[in-house]
Amino acid sequence: MKHKKSMSIQIFNKTNYICTCHQFLKRDLVFDKDNELLSNGKLTVGCEIFYYYGTINTVSLSKNNNINKSLGESLNDIAIMLESRMFTDCVLKVGYSKINVHKNILASRSKVFNSMLAGKHYKYNPYIIKINGFRPKVVKEMVIFMYTGKSPNIKMLAREMLEIGEKYKLQRLKVMAEESLLHNLSIENACEYLILSELHSAEILKEWCLQFICLNAEKVFNTEKWKVVLNDHPLLVAKLFNIAVNID
């Protein structure tokens, strides 16, 4: 008897407890005798489940509405400081673009920025920090995260947010980027994401990619990106084979 595979990635939260597969088998495919999916008129369905359970928020917020309201107002006030440039004392220079920021915010949120600022004693203010290798919109998104704890454009900038989060040691931003990427995991991008996870020590994303590739090996091995993994990343190939034979 032949078999067909379909896959779905589901996000569970306090309001969503049901798992559905939106791209299940089509009726015509099931009843086509050439496919041999029915045995004595019966369809056998099996499933494999790989799950990740983790928390992005490391601080448990109180259910007290007054506390949450106060916290929200504080975050809004900090965001206004960024937009208004009020009392800014530092500039992030990205190519020809400049972002006015506050040193204390940068230093308190990132050990990398803390180290950079603590070792500099300029005669002129504001301090100027040059950032290379990232687009202005990516740096701006990182700054928004450092001020508010949010990344409103994470879905569109997930790969670059993973990279910049790794460079400036913003662990929570990295996790947010990893989770955004894994929800878009597919046959076409699995190898690309696996390589990305290896380059930027994204362990959550890497684990998902490894498991995903093992579950969809036949299709993934036919992609061009798999050749890159095979030729340039032997350690990742070894990890895949270890998973395939249930060796930790």
Domain range summary for the chain, segments of one domain joined by +: 1-49, 68-183, 185-248
Estimate to the nearest angstrom the gap between the alpha carbon of 79 and the chain centroid. 23
- For the cut 70, the answer to whether the pLDDT of residue 241 exceeds it is yes
The reported pLDDT for the residue numbered 9 is 61
pLDDT at 203 over 70: yes
Domain spanning 68-183: which superfamily? Potassium Channel Kv1.1; Chain A (3.30.710.10)
Q: Check whether 124 has a pLDDT greater than 60.
A: no
CA end-to-end distance (rounded Å), the chain: 32
Confidence class for position 17, pLDDT limits 50, 70, 90: low
Q: Which helix (H) or strand (E) holds 165?
A: helix 154-167
User: What is the CATH topology of the domain spanning 185-248?
Assistant: 1.25.40
To which residue do tokens 């684990």 refer? 207
pLDDT beyond 90 at 6: no
Q: Of the ranges 28-37, 90-99, 121-130, 133-142, which one carries the lowest mean pLDDT score?
A: 121-130
Task: List, as one string, the DSSP characters of 177-188.
Answer: HHHHHHTT--TT
Q: Is the CA virtual torsion 177, 180, 184, 186 positive or negative?
A: positive
What is the arithmetic mean of pLDDT over 87-99? Answer: 91
What pLDDT score was predicted for residue 61? 37
Torsion angle defined by CA atoms of residues 95, 129, 115 and 138, in that order, rounded to the nearest 10 degrees: -40
Same fold, 68-183 and 185-248: no
* Neighbouring C-beta atoms of residue 247, cutoff 10 Å: 8
Strand boundaries in the chain, DSSP class E: 38-39, 42-43, 90-94, 97-101, 127-130
CA angle 90, 96, 97 (to 5 degrees): 50
Q: Pull the structure tokens for residue 3.
A: 């078999």
Identify the residue with better confidence: 94 or 82: 94
Q: What is the pTM of this model?
A: 0.72
- Kindly tell me if the per-residue pLDDT of 30 is higher than 70: yes
pLDDT band at 62 (very low <50, low <70, confident <90, very high): very low
* pLDDT attached to residue 86: 75
Q: What is the mean pLDDT of the chain?
A: 80
